[in-house]
Amino acid sequence: MHMKTVLLLLVLALATIFALVCVLLTRGRAPSTCQHQPREQEDTDDGQSLVFADLTPEEMVQVVRYLQGNLGVQLVDASRAKPSDNCIASVDVQVPAKAEVLRFLDGGGARPPREALAVLYFGNQPDPNVTEYVVGPLPTPAYHRDVTVQKYGGKVPYHRRPTLAVEYKQMAGFLKSQVFPTAPSFMHQVMEYDGASLAALTAAPRGFQSGDRITWFVLFQNVSGFFVHPVGLEVLVDHSSLDISRWAVNRVFYNGQYYRDMVQLESAYVQGRISVEKVRKAPRDGDFSSMKPRAPSAALFPLQYEPQGPRYSIRNNHVLFQAWSFAFGVSVNTGLRLFDIRHKGERVAYEIGIQEALSVYGSNCPGGMSTRYMDGSFGIGRYTSPLVRGVDCPYLATYLDVHYLAHSHVSRISKNALCIFEQNLGSPLRRHYSNLQSLYYGGLVNSALVVRSIATVGNYDYVWDFIFYQNGAIEGKVQATGYASSSFLHGDGLRYGNRIWEHTLGTIHTHSINYKVDLDVGGRSGSSYNVCHYTVSFATGMARQTGRHSPVCRAEGVSLFFLRLMLALAFLKGVKWTTISGKPFSAVGDVLLPPHVGLGTVGPALQKLVAMQEQPPHTMLLSKDPVCWSGVGMAGWGQMCPVSHPAASALPGAAASGTYSRCCSRTPCPVSALREMNPKLPYVLLAGAAVIIFILSCMLLSRGRRSPSCESQPRIMEKMGFRSQSLVFADLTPEEMVQVVRYLQGNLGVQLVDASRAKPSDNCIASVDVQVPAKAEVLRFLDGGGARPPREALAVLYFGNQPDPNVTEYVVGPLPTPAYHRDVTVQKYGGKVPYHRRPMLGSEYEQVGAFLETVAFAAAPTFLKEVFEYDGTNVAFQTTAPHGFQSGDRKSWFIVFQNVSGFFVHPVGLEVLVDHSSLDISRWAVNRVFYNGQYYRDMVQLESAYVQGRISVEKVRKAPRDGDFSSMKPRAPSAALFPLQYEPQGPRYSIRNNHVLFQAWSFAFGMSVNTGLRLFDIRHKGERVAYEIGIQEALSVYGSNCPGGMSTRYMDGSFGIGRYTSPLVRGVDCPYSATYVDTHSLFETLSPSKRKASLCIFEQNLGSPLRRHYSNLQSLYYGGLVNSALVVRSIATVGNHDYVWDFIFYQNGAIEGKVQATGYASSSFLHGDGLRYGNRVWEHTLGTIRTHSINYKVDLDVGGVKNSLVAHDMAFEMVRAPWSPEQQIERPRLTKKVLDTEDQAAFRLQSKMPRYIYFAANSKNKWGHQRGYRIQITSFAGDHVPEASSMERAISWARYQLAVTRRKEEEPTSTSIYNQNDPWTPTVTFANFINNETITNEDLVAWITTGFLHIPHSEDIPNTVTVGNSVGFLLRPYNYYDLDPSIYSHDGVFFTSEQDFTACEINPIACLPKTASCLPNFPPFTYDGFQNMSRL
């Protein structure tokens, strides 16, 4: 065949291949898979952080060998040692002295020698003792020094040694072989003992005085969760002798009676002189104590993934996350600890770590009453347990192994014992929605780095977290789970706890956790310490420096082949690849990649291809910086890569380290080069092309399905044809609001002006909201089959155009076609509401603003022009409240700021007091003027003083329109996207109208114009636990040396918490895939307004276990449940503050009410003694001190409407030890009290409140306890306004952290919107609710106050973060159920050592690589916050 023909056919073949490839790329192409970069520890780098690193297994071996060869005594392996032997108890790293470390890190000094701390037990010596040696230098030890005396002031007596694991085994063997056989009848007939059916748990400390080593062993049935299966038998063993043969039983306890030994117990039993309490034999799985899920697996809980890979990196023991860097380690004794913690390169802490976890128990059984566990002596680090993917930590976290040497000569590895991950907390770290002056939104999602270990010490599992936030805050947190402590229930046992099963007493105990925090604030920045980002490769295990975190997106299927082909053509033909813009590009699928962008696992192919070319004519440039090419902006989330999960059983595997093309312009090969080509080559290429065409055709025929999208069932409110019961609580529809307005306009006989244009002397409708029916009517309808209550509205009207101006409230109904109205003002408030108490309308603010600009400022033109460069638009005003000093006043200070973004922190020093009490605007007047510390009669006097040079001028630099320092514009460009959560099998909640269903929960929600988000008819497992939970008020009390600041006490309910509920931004204010609900309101207008996406509902995987236990005692198993909860959220922006309101529903039946505060700090102009009232936060800006107090109404109906209030707490009692009367013991016991009256149930803000306080039902659970719901408050409230204050009665609810009163329809709220403007004669006085009425077996309401003190600081610029500014309350079941209801969750995980935990039917988490690898279905980003709204 002619060469030209062959070449022509080859070109046609290549064109065909290209066409087939294009079709494959555009038809059914699976999107790129999110690939996680390797992030394992790397041992080859000798970085500075290694000065803190844990010992390697090799170093541990060298230390043991050195000690064996250099101490001159025989060392027995601690795993086999007797008390009379010498052995190595533990080997851990010896962290160098801080001064040495800092000289090395900061001063360029020598690296401190690496050393180990070895703890040795010398039992085979004339003077047995415990000795601690420092051994070094590592890795080849050459010296050791005894540091025992240096550390402790003397030798450590041998009896103080922590008990070795082998000694526990020896004691168990002693019981089994020496003790139990002396009571054969009792053990066989009562205990059904077969040699393996009992488990023993030791008490500690071991005796009553120094030198004792006498331990109570509590016996349990040897089943799963044996900790709650006591059998009533406890044995006191004296094991103080180093000779095991001399160990003896000192006492025996059974069912409330003490015996000398087991022989005496046997004798008493045989003679029938013993009270036997036969315990039903539990099955091997423990029955009630089993952590096996009681429900089958269902739809998966939400999962978190990193669309562009992890944004942190790990090298050895060093972690980098955004501005953070730190080293980590795990101490054998104290567990997780961090070193050299730096933010933005500057050290803020040298060391943060756990020190101790103490538990003090109470019981009427000897083992329980004598127990004070100090878990550090057992080894918090030693008992750090392996973590289970997806439950203990997010599935895609980085899991690290921990090595330790304890109780053995051989180092051991705890696989996956530590996890590091970035957690998207599903809420904003900071945000502000501005509808004042300018319209903008700024926010930052709260995504933080978490370092976690979980220590299982006996029955308890401690979840240890260190959390690093983007604002420079660090949180140390511990969560306790595991099994409860228990004793055998007998006698007066209920003085020491609650009965939790037939013979099981859950015993009272305290937990105390101690941390060491060595802060180095403002110390040396460590200029010699370079902070770099590292990327680790699975393939090579090598760590490299790179300028950014670089996750890999894997190119799938034919893309790899296509690239190989195109590169081959490039080598052969010198092809020049360009985009439209002329820049070189590479093509993967339908995405054009700039040259610096990588191509995932295509990399090895490129390397191979390059290796095949022998001296190609033009060099191909390669880059090894992997980059995932996808949109970072939220608007680009519609195209995301499907989530790829590693197999549950997989260890970090080998993945390709990306090598990527940089395709440059090339000069075409000379024609002569083709002529010199081997003549057979075109035929070879033609045959190859034919094969390729065949393969591609087959692929095209067999490929057509794309990666599945994650399910997404409809969750938006559905318009139903029938009226569900929850609609009795529903907010008014826009149509209903319109009908109410029309009715009022036509039936009141007065002209109603649109409130948005009304003058104070007009009549207008201020607001229209739903009137929730009386509770009795609602319950008759919901529970008793009664008629549906008529649907009504509550309208608030201002009558300014009357001889006696006033505020009137009307109930209008029935809806949707009103036919009546009734005045309820007198009924609610005992009289008419005086007109001066009315909340200010937006129109009144505008009128005052116009007055200031046209009247007040016109009197001082020179001052304003020269000092403020005033042009009529460049200042903004903020009002204060209340308006004066006495009832009837309406005089407001207006603080002047620069009119820029974030104007709240741009005061200019001018404040004007306006008297706007007259209904005739022309009679308004300036009462006082304040400027830079001086007061003036009015603006005329200020102008005169300025012109005459008698004024101290403080010129404020003019800020740009964006506010400069107050701007919320990001100061850094977009980078890798933060983690996202998605629902692999769709949302697990549903919404119909205003009704929500989530697992066992159901409730109705609504949005009050004044008080904001509220919930009704909250039920768990079909039973109502609360009738109503809602916000009441948000109070802020300010301090300043400027008049506006010092007189401000904002009561945000009067402004409208619900009215100022702001539109939510997807992905920041709530998770991107949350359900967003619109709300409607009618406020200060005649037409309803729609607030788009002002409420969100979503399920949040909190990234930690709700409960878990890892068992390595008796039986080996793991059981756990991920903590995934439903969140209902709204965010109210009231002036400078943004309040994030959450109600959270947990799977164990608990409800949390939480508020997080963000927004802008309050400020005054800095002058004089201003620093007595806050901190300077900018040049002329004083961040002013203030308190925040939040009040909630919680109407619990526990087991019915009639409840009582019961308080449980603890007290220590001094008693003689029953088995050793000469000794005394301090024993915690349970205190119980029924709070009979409202006065007893009113707890002042700073007073001590019982730690367990709960609403008790008339019914009881299976174990005879009153069913209850406990109230647990989280608050950091500042001091309350002194009660001598003339306005205190208006905010008297804030006196109390908790007050429980009888529920009354005439006491629906703790405050009133009218209290703000007349606090001196409050319309509602909460203190009057508390009048010593009986509250036993009544319908009760809890009024909860929580809050915090805010002293603004420089980190509140540009605005305040939510971290540390979160308060609220929990409602938790307390004996309400017979066992934890979360055991019936579909999300439970349980497997034993005998099961295949990689099998889906055993462990549903193992299915994630299959069931959760789908394409998250993100809707387009929209925002309607700047449309169809009114501005103040």
- Three-state DSSP at 865 gives helix
1077 vs 1066: CA distance, rounded Å: 12
490 vs 513: CA distance, rounded Å: 31
Q: For 232-236, 1217-1221, 1422-1426, which range has the lowest pLDDT when averaged over its residues?
A: 1422-1426
In the chain, % helix, strand, coil (3-state, to 5) comes to: 20, 35, 45
- Three-state DSSP at 848 gives helix
pLDDT in tens, 1099-1148: 999 999 999 999 988 789 999 999 999 999 999 999 999 999 999 999 99
1010 vs 1310: CA distance, rounded Å: 13
| β pairing state of 1049-1051 and 1023-1038 | antiparallel
* Residues 6+ positions from 266 with CB-CB distance below 8 Å: 182, 183, 184, 185, 186
For position 713, what pLDDT does the model report? 54
First to last CA, the chain: 85
631 vs 308: CA distance, rounded Å: 9
C-alpha pair distances (Å), 1141 with each of 368, 707, 1027, 1131, 1367: 42, 37, 19, 6, 10
C-alpha pair distances (Å), 1252 with each of 508, 1255, 1273: 12, 10, 10
Per-residue pLDDT band at 185 (split at 50, 70, 90): very high
1084 has a pLDDT exceeding 70:
yes
For position 699, what pLDDT does the model report? 63
Peptide bond before 139: cis, by omega within 30 degrees of 0? yes
Average pLDDT of the residues in 703-714: 57
Q: Among candidates 831, 1032, 904, which has minimal Cα distance to 432?
A: 904
Average pLDDT of the residues in 325-342: 97
Residues found in the chain? 1432
1227 vs 1261: CA distance, rounded Å: 27
Q: What is the largest CA-CA distance in the chain?
A: 115
819 has a pLDDT exceeding 80:
yes
| Alpha helices (H) along 407-521 | none
| Alpha helices (H) along 1011-1093 | 1043-1046, 1052-1055
Q: For 332-346, 426-440, 1060-1074, which range has the lowest pLDDT when averaged over its residues?
A: 426-440
- Under DSSP, the state recorded for 176 is I
- Under DSSP, the state recorded for 1112 is -
For position 630, what pLDDT does the model report? 29
| Alpha helices (H) along 107-190 | 148-152, 165-174, 184-189
- Three-state DSSP at 624 gives coil
| β pairing state of 1075-1083 and 763-771 | antiparallel
For position 4, what pLDDT does the model report? 72
Average pLDDT, the chain: 86
145 vs 168: CA distance, rounded Å: 30
Most confident of 76-90, 296-310, 564-578: 76-90
C-alpha pair distances (Å), 545 with each of 533, 1092, 1217: 6, 46, 64
Backbone angles phi, psi at 495, to 5 degrees: -75, -10
1328 vs 205: CA distance, rounded Å: 52
For position 831, what pLDDT does the model report? 92
Peptide bond before 839: cis, by omega within 30 degrees of 0? no
Token match 């909190």: residue?
A: 1102
78 vs 971: CA distance, rounded Å: 57
Q: For 442-456, 692-706, 1104-1118, which range has the lowest pLDDT when averaged over its residues?
A: 692-706
DSSP assignment of 937-973 equals SSHHHHHHHHHTT-S---PPPPPPTT-GGG--S-SS-
- Three-state DSSP at 1332 gives coil
212 vs 215: CA distance, rounded Å: 9
Contact 52, 327 (CB under 8 A): yes
Other CB atoms within a 10 A radius of the CB of residue 542 amount to 13
Token match 């690849």: residue?
A: 577
721 has a pLDDT exceeding 50:
no
For position 545, what pLDDT does the model report? 31
| Alpha helices (H) along 719-811 | 734-747, 775-782
CA torsion 516-518-521-527 (nearest 10°) is -130
Helix (H) / strand (E) containing 429: strand 412-436
* Residues 6+ positions from 1174 with CB-CB distance below 8 Å: 1039, 1040, 1164, 1182, 1183, 1184, 1185, 1351, 1352
C-alpha pair distances (Å), 805 with each of 891, 1203, 1341: 18, 44, 35
C-alpha pair distances (Å), 690 with each of 684, 853, 1279: 10, 83, 85
Per-residue pLDDT band at 625 (split at 50, 70, 90): very low
For position 678, what pLDDT does the model report? 62
Q: For 76-90, 1021-1035, 1411-1425, which range has the lowest pLDDT when averaged over its residues?
A: 1411-1425
Average pLDDT of the residues in 161-183: 96
For position 1424, what pLDDT does the model report? 75
Alpha-carbon radius of gyration of the chain: 37
pLDDT in tens, 1041-1058: 999 999 999 999 999 999
- Three-state DSSP at 1366 gives strand
- Three-state DSSP at 184 gives helix
635 vs 617: CA distance, rounded Å: 44
Average pLDDT of the residues in 869-898: 96
For position 1404, what pLDDT does the model report? 85
| β pairing state of 989-992 and 995-998 | antiparallel
pLDDT in tens, 903-919: 999 999 999 999 999 99
Q: For 576-585, 705-714, 965-974, 1310-1319, which range has the lowest pLDDT when averaged over its residues?
A: 576-585
1402 has a pLDDT exceeding 90:
no
893 has a pLDDT exceeding 90:
yes
pTM of the prediction?
A: 0.87
Give exposure, 76-91, as e/b (b: 16+ Cβ within 10 Å).
bebeebbbebbbbbbb
Per-residue pLDDT band at 688 (split at 50, 70, 90): confident
Average pLDDT of the residues in 45-56: 86
604 has a pLDDT exceeding 90:
no
1290 vs 1294: CA distance, rounded Å: 9
Q: What percent of the chain has pLDDT over 70?
A: 84
- Three-state DSSP at 1052 gives helix
Q: Is the dihedral of CA 77, 316, 47, 319 positive or negative?
A: negative
Q: Among candidates 127, 243, 242, 257, which has minimal Cα distance to 186?
A: 257
The C-alpha angle 1254, 1256, 1260, rounded to 5 degrees, equals 130
578 has a pLDDT exceeding 50:
no
